[in-house]
Structure 1
């Protein structure tokens, strides 16, 4: 079972991703939150395997800063509508990057890639 935390400020994206991931065997969305503050609280209370982070949270720095703070202790997949965020997200420590308009297979591939990377703790 892969446990996931979603961090995206758009409630429609959170709902769509939660629905998509619920249809994948052995995947559980532990929480879907809108901010870095909420993400930190969830991570303090729950063990998750993968954190999916919207790079473009209300301030661009928030998403990158969250990825940086989570890596290398957590598997992180960066998510964004803006393809220019790919390199900064990967440089901050994300295992992979998925565009929001990508296919469900892209998300599954990214989850599997993130799970395949060792965590330094």
Structure 2
């Protein structure tokens, strides 16, 4: 049973990485950047907006983790989101971003595995 749960969590992390990157980087960030001023800044408006929105689906951390660990995780979500957004703004493929996002999710899973078994 535990193996099945871990398998479902892993599949969920892969699918989440795929859909989050397409939604936040591929659509939201690209759309906002396309419709904003073309001022070259380290953090684009689309990246900032997508990174702020990225917090909302991760608020569930507060229900499954210790409060300090959950808040730390939310801060890391913002940091990693800004980094991935920066990479997208500088020409990185959405597929590479999905792979990086998946690896980040797996690191988070390894750190937080006790909540799944």
TM-score by length of 2: 0.31
More strand by share: 1
**Greater relative contact order structure (CA < 8 Å, 6+ sep):** 2
